[in-house]
Every structure is written in structure tokens, then in C-alpha cells.
Amino acid sequence: METKKRITFVVNPISGTHGKEFIIRLIEKELNHSIYDYSIRKTEYAGHASEIAAQAAAEHTDIVVAIGGDGTINEIGRALIHTNTAMGIIPCGSGNGLARHLHIPMEPKGAINVLNAGNVKTIDYGIIDNHPFFCTCGVGFDAFVSLKFADSGKRGLLTYLENTLHESLTYEPETYEIENSTGTVRYKA
């Protein structure tokens, strides 16, 4: 008899616009329990998802699943780089950029079905200022609006659009230096 794979679900209770309790109930109902044993952990502060994921990888957990948005995914992904622990995603953030790019269904049941299929793929990650990232990475105005959005206390597309319109009136562009394999360039952005 084969041993079951172990999954740790990491729930960010404040990401996105909806509560996560229905996803927790859906995991119990829809996850294939004949191949997976699981635990569920809720984050309590910024950086906690990274700590949970690092601990899970150290304990040889097979998969750590982000139940949250791109911020939760980035935290978990950073902790799993160059480990044998895979990352899964049940998207429920405000944007869900990486999940959309990877064609993971936006509805939780569909995302759980992806986990049940058990297909693992390797993806690239970027590094900016020595910080790995897995989702889109914004600089300049985009990053400024994202920071305002994160600090706004409200979620959703309308809040993001409000921040974009408001900040576009006063934003001053900065100069950025970008280094890659072909050299270094400077841009005002």
C-alpha cells in the first residue's frame, strides 16, 4: 500500500473579498482523501505563511497550498524554493494573477480538482532586490498603487481603481536601474 501524500493548506483569512470557511468545508468534501492527508493552518500576521511553508518543507510535506491571493502565494513560494515540497493554489485574492496565468480555476472546487489530479510543474521565479517573487512584479506607479491598495483596508477591483485614479494625479516618476544578462539600463518609470 502506498503512503498518502501530505498537504498543508495555508489560509490567509484577510485576503480577497470573501471569507474562507466555505473553502475549508469544501476541502473536507472534495479533496481525494484516499491519496491525501491534510492539515489546515491560518495565518496570523504578515510573514506567517512563509514560516508555515518553511516548517512544512522541513517536515517533508509534499504540498503546501495557498488559500489566498498573490501575496500569500509569494510568501509560500519563497519558502519552498529549492525544496521537494510543491506549491498549490486555491485562488481567493483580489487579483489572483499567478493562478490565472497557470490556468487554475478561480472557483475553489475546480482548484481542488487540480490538486486531486496531482500534476506538478516547475515554474520560474524572479528576484528583485534579493527578494524572490512568483507573480507579477510592479515598479514605479504600479508598485505605488499596490502599496496604497494594501494599506487601504478594503479589497476588490473598485478599491484598486479608486487608488489608481487618485494617485495618478500626484505621482512623480522615479528612475530605475534594470540589470539582466545583456547589461544594465536606466529608465524613468
Domain ranges for the chain, please list them. 5-133, 141-188
| pLDDT at res. 17 | 56
Please report, rounded to a whole number, the percentage of residues in the chain having pLDDT higher than 70: 82
Indicate the average pLDDT of the chain: 86
Q: Is the pTM of this model over 0.85?
A: no
Cell of 60: 517533508
Cα–Cα distance list, 125 to 65, 78, 172 (Å):
17, 9, 29
The yes-or-no verdict on residue 152 having pLDDT over 90 is no
Judge whether 161 and 129 are in contact, CB under 8 Å. Answer: no
Q: Give pLDDT tens digits for 92-133.
A: 887 788 898 899 999 999 999 999 999 899 988 888 888 888
The yes-or-no verdict on residue 63 having pLDDT over 80 is yes
DSSP state of 156: S
Closest CA relative to residue 163, chosen from 131, 141, 185, 182: 141
Q: Give pLDDT tens digits for 134-150.
A: 876 666 777 676 666 66
CATH of 5-133, one of 3.40.50.280, 3.30.300.30, 3.40.50.10330, 3.20.10.10: 3.40.50.10330
Residue 133: Cβ-neighbour burial (10 angstroms; 0-12, 13-18, 19+): middle
Between CA 101 and CA 49, with CA 152 as vertex, the angle to 5 degrees is: 55
